[in-house]
Amino acid sequence: MKKILLFLKKEFIEMLPPTIFFFVVFHILYFIKSLVANEYGVSISSSIAAAIGSLIVGKAILIVDSLKALNLFQEHNLIHRILWKIFIYSVFVFLFRYLEEVIPLMSKYDSFNVANRNLINEIKWSQFWTIQIVLFIFLTIYISFVELIKVIGKERFLEIVFKKKKDYKNQ
């Protein structure tokens, strides 16, 4: 029982940073989506959807991080690792976004193939690509910071971010 609790604690702690980060990102996305749709304001349902989305993304990040292909450029320089991870995460984000659009159509058309064919006509492309671009930007920021922290260390990163400027110059 103790091993299970330790495993769950480890998973929760690893999932917390991306979940919090993407909780904010999804709220930004729902705000942008409401602006594009001319529905000014954020509703309770969009906040709940943002919370659920951030939990899903937090867990998805843990799953993608466990893929062996993600570490293909681990021995290369930082920029190669960042670009590779951005590519892999972007592919997964695109697939999740595609499924997010096609699943409601499956209930409408009772078939994946028919829903997939009608997706092109029924999707709101301006919203889809706006959200995709914003997610790509935030994924880039997230991955860049995670990889930078791995290189310089969590303590050094916190020191750089939170230390007073005059104290930092004296080193």
What pLDDT sits at residue 148?
92
Q: How many CA atoms lie within 13 A of 131 on its CB side?
A: 26
The SS3 of residue 5 is helix
3-state secondary structure of 105: helix
- Which band of pLDDT confidence, cut at 50, 70 and 90, is reported for residue 27? confident
CB atoms within 10 A of CB 65: 15
Of 60, 85, 91, 63, the closest CA to residue 73 belongs to 85
Question: Residue 138: CA atoms inside 13 Å, Cβ hemisphere, count?
Answer: 21
For tokens 């990163």, name the residue: 157
Residue 161 has pLDDT above 80, yes or no: yes
Percent share of the chain, pLDDT over 90: 10
pLDDT at 168: 54
Name the pTM for this structure.
Answer: 0.74
